[in-house]
Structure 1
């Protein structure tokens, strides 16, 4: 389902807030779990954000645990090859690109703080913290904002590409500029409500059942995205369709039992060869 071809009107802050409230109400019915709690240190929050981008939360957690268990410590990850780090992430999409980001984060941390600890950044002003994060190579807007939100308690809106695509399709935020979309939403979502907003929107955007359902043509993005006037109606229609049917998990078939070996066949009695005992030779008769 695509967005309207007519350019939607720009939303006012109050209208965007009201529309987001309706959208989140729809999503709550599908994703009923509470927002995950984040209590990791700053560095670990940054690493986890790299794995969470465009990925369902349980898969990101699994990849994070696998990453830490695959190496002795964070320094070993830093000095490992990208391929070795990639192998530890399992089936995560774009694992090689994520592995490169992880190594760059650890390298930056080691050179900046001479330790694998970024807690000193909490004592800096938000402006200084942002500039510090911006120096990390290949850091995405999502990882940056996720760390500001959960590591520094800032009023940040982490949008990954799939979440941005979803909000643009709705017409809630800028469809062609992710940083502008973050600013659009920040003015409509209270700081206290950000964790729930992030949980629901990220769950929808990364849901494999609806992968590609919110994709727009470049012309639609340039026109401003979907029509907010029909956003809730279109979203309900997509959800009612049930999304893609994922392939069933493969189950290993139990090997079939080999056929029983045929019982040894004794030849018929007529075929059995009897071995006659040799008779003792006759004794010679002595002459008188």
Structure 2
């Protein structure tokens, strides 16, 4: 089985619609794909309606969190999307995205970048607007060569010249909320140091004690040395180890299925979940 547990669609900052994403996942030879848009489950219905035969969809979201001033992302799988407390927190984070993006555009204009809100809104379309849309605008303008280059201290990275903070959930609260909604939590790309400051191992240990289920290790932003270190940490803390593409369509160069999760780990995730269950495709629209 080939299992990719971290992808994004146009419901947040990917470039494939949810329907295109599941069709592309099947074409890439995946057996299981998780749709984990930022702080939203809005793409799930379309993905399910288009789910090809032979592909199973894991519903989820990537939650925006912050601990001790460090931004981090928490992958949440197979939770009840209508559970009131978790839904309210996701909406709180999403509602802060537009004013934050507008403030980033204003800061960029202050330092001489001719980006406009209209340009960013066009790129975001119906998706939940975020920094990747601003980063794409910078690529369009020739200010940076790639979206990844925009996520540095020179531009949009934490502490960067155009960085603006937004509401982010405390990760311990995220773990509690997801668990209460019957879901499973995995810390996304914890060693992605080129994105900015990373969460210390001591904090990851505290999250594990609070119920964190796993950490994402096989990821494009982790070199081999980082992966070895994180595997040792996961073993010490009894955490599941996942791998995934973090696919964003054409916004990033990584392909669907570039990194995958072991079937036994996937099975354990599904066993722990009670809020929702993987959906096998029967040949969607």
Task: State if a TM-score over 0.5 links the two structures.
Answer: no
- TM-score by length of structure 1 reads 0.25
Structure having the higher Rg: 1
Higher share of residues assigned strand: 2
Higher share of residues assigned helix: 1
